[in-house]
A and B are shown apart, each in its own frame.
Chain A
């Protein structure tokens, strides 16, 4: 009876979850990446629901029926109560199978279809078609974006805001992030100070922003819409206030916005450092001169630490 009830409830639960909850699970379906993450989430839910139902039902059974108040004979100990080969072997077998399947599925979902949108470090092992080429070209600083080609966006995090550079549009820097629809987007995420995390929730993208490191993440946009960017790695006092909003525009609207911003910002852009995957602000800039400037050679302790006694 227990198993029949469990099977029925699980199937019903799975169907209900798939039909009614599934379409609304995060991160939504604004991009192909988000959609594939959402699919992954829902597959896990399909496994979670029967497990939760099974264990909770068992606990409920125990509370209801295997209770001292129900009376009946005392349970009999001995070998039968200690071990049950069928139960043990099938439990271990089934959990192992489920776990191995999920690990395999997760690995598959990581690279196949549209990727996961997670930060893949400076040398991604997986990238969508054309992305690497676009990135290599963008690094030279004199490529430009054409509709249908991957767009390269550099995300620069610092305490406590995100700015975005568009190397295919003359490397202008903006506090506004807009991206075109139906396009592969290459995010190059880096930081100027501490570790931040670029989390574009609706895009299904999350990548840590590390100082001195170019962390690459990909997504592929579908229709237009808006999204929120939040910092998801504690970065100091105003971590909670580090967010902004972005838009997925139609390709022509994006082209217009980017070109006009490039022109409007041209005066500022020429004062920016040349486009690069990472930037090294002075380590002493924000820290108030903690480390001695430059590489002291020849080394003398007194230059590093100063004199041992306070200057009179």
Chain B
């Protein structure tokens, strides 16, 4: 079944016109419907109910009375809070109605009213924008925690925080940032632009998509609930005997990862299935944009690796509540088990964070170099290769742990092999730049910065994968600098590139270029000044997550701290730019400000509810820059300025 380019002009009616009164009450504007407010109320009620239930069940248990700590009540309270939140926002309406066969046959049509951003929306564009706000919330709170960490490290001996508070801040920072980073591109940009780039009018499972966002926000509450519960001292890795030993804050961590993990599975599931099934006619695997390739690779990792994290957290929660002993050596469990489960998820997760960044770089390069993407197939192969190999490297986190020492050469080999497909991305990037006519607009500057930063992150990754060198660098600031270079220097710069590039399409407003340049240069310079010294701090012997360090390292640490504060300032500049360009002084964006050939820029602006008036037919491959006679990427079936196609 294909749709030919020559389509009949006769058009049948789509969904019938619905008056507002016919729209389900849950979606109507006004207080009497389901929105963020009801979610908050239901979440609160769920919390109270769960806490009561847990106390009812378990307050007489021996361990509860011995330890004075009712983990069951704490767990159930948070679990019911999530449930109440989802009920309140309306995420469970459809699945519950389905039991009695009364689910709506047609998708609910969103009301064009500002309040739709506070609702369970089935429009992937609304979800995309919701995600923008959601990930920025994660990012800014995580960033504040980072500022606190760096403030404490200003002095080797003088303490701003108690050791207890400090380790909880570090742990919270790591966990929040990791949770944010798994969704930072797939959530906002993936959800918004994948359907537009593949010429689809909708997502395959819009309810699962919206669910993924709202459970993501619930995860935010759960992970921050760890703080009032007393925090957790384990870092984002949550290694086991410490996890077993930790107080109830650990529940926030374990349940938080399970909740966020559910959202990750849901969003990966939906996007992956959409890419496979909803590509427009003519959009063969040789023609899909490289950003879609990267999201597909990411989605496959999200759906397949995250269940392992889910089970790992689930088993940890059982240890905490019903007294199983999965991670307790003395009772027949194994602390190593957590390390294996966690890193079996944890390493693919690293690529969940890296791949979308590569995708954005590949997507933006042709636009700003005005050249076709060099070695398109190599880049697709690189991303899929990274995704596949990432399942076979997890034990390189455990080189010094004493687990399977005889496997070290194997994991060293697989880890170093993964730098081959990663290198493909550089081949593609550098090849595309070759003899180009680069326009250094903001998104391109961020892409260039990504190539600069990720190179350092990637090369130091090879150092880490080498077991003899790993003896020196494992568990130190070298690792810390390395993964900040890959995640922040790669992913976050790519996210910024993507935002500057695509926000005009999402909101119809241009980001201010001048403030943006300030943002870019402060972010780029202070990012490097913050994290580059950390390689040396690590090489000179400072372990991660310490609040006291050798006094001879104070100079470097202070340098990094002050740079980090200035890096924080650059994010304030970004926030100001966002506010300035979106609300205070909006400048209307042209239809295609970057002269891109990409499909997402060809549809109307703002994007209509169904994305494309007619399903586009893809005529050629996506990056035909520098070919004046090249056919258009897609036949949109609509003559410009007219509603019918009369060819």
Contacts and interface: CB of A to CB of B under 8 A. Distances in A.
Interface of A: 25-27, 36-37, 40-41, 44, 47-48, 51-52, 55-56, 58-59, 62-63, 66-68, 70, 72, 74-78, 81-84, 87-88, 91-92, 95-96, 99-100, 102-103, 106-107, 109-110, 116-122, 124-125, 189, 193-195, 197, 199, 201, 204-208, 210-213, 215, 228, 230-241, 280, 282-283, 286-292, 303-311
Given A234-B237, A240-B163, A102 B416 contact: yes
Interface stretch (B178-186, B448-456, B499-507): B448-456
B60 A310 contact: yes
Given A210-B336, A211-B329, A288-B66, A110 B438 contact: no
Given A66-B433, A68-B437, A103-B412, 14 more contacts: A37-B469, A75-B369, A82-B376, A87-B375, A95-B420, A99-B420, A107-B412, A121-B403, A122-B402, A205-B471, A211-B335, A230-B541, A234-B234, A287-B67
Closest 7 CB pairs of A and B: A77-B626, A240-B546, A232-B475, A306-B62, A215-B402, A283-B330, A116-B468
Interface stretch (B308-316, B458-466, B573-581): B458-466
Interface residues of B, number: 108
5 contacts: A82-B374, A83-B375, A233-B475, A240-B549, A241-B547
Contact of A78 (B323, B406, B435, B627): B627
Interface stretch (B123-131, B140-148, B221-229, B240-248): B240-248
Interface stretch (B6-14, B422-430, B608-616, B632-640): B422-430
Interface of B: 57-67, 163-164, 166-167, 233-235, 237, 239-242, 244-245, 323, 325, 328-331, 335-336, 369-376, 378, 399-406, 408-409, 412-413, 416-417, 419-420, 423-424, 426-427, 430-431, 433-440, 448, 451-452, 455-456, 459, 462-463, 465-472, 474-476, 539-541, 543-550, 623-627, 630
B427 A106 contact: no
Contact of A88 (B67, B378, B435, B465): B378
Given A99-B416, A236-B233, A119 B405 contact: yes
Contact of B372 (A44, A82, A283, A289): A82
A58 B474 CA distance: 31
A48 B623 CA distance: 33
Contact of B436 (A66, A232, A288): A66
B60 A234 contact: no
Contacts of B235: 234
Given A95-B423, A289-B67, A206 B430 contact: no
B402 A120 contact: yes
A125 B408 CA distance: 11
A contacts with B: majority SS: mixed
Contacts of A234: 167, 233-235, 237, 239, 242, 544-545
Contacts, number: 325
A106 B468 contact: yes
A240 B372 contact: no
Given A68-B437, A195-B335, A99 B471 contact: no
A207 B540 CA distance: 18
Contacts of A282: 330
A75 B474 contact: no
B84 to A, nearest CB: 25
B471 A309 contact: no
B463 A228 contact: no
A241 B412 contact: no
B62 A292 contact: yes
B121 to A, nearest CB: 39
Nearest to A287: B245
Contacts of A237: 163-164, 167, 233
A50 to B, nearest CB: 11
A298 B424 CA distance: 62
B255 to A, nearest CB: 19
A44 B469 contact: yes
A103 to B, nearest CB: 4
B437 A72 contact: yes
Nearest to B543: A232
B549 A236 contact: no
B624 A77 contact: yes
B627 A204 contact: no
Given A75-B437, A283-B328, A55 B471 contact: no
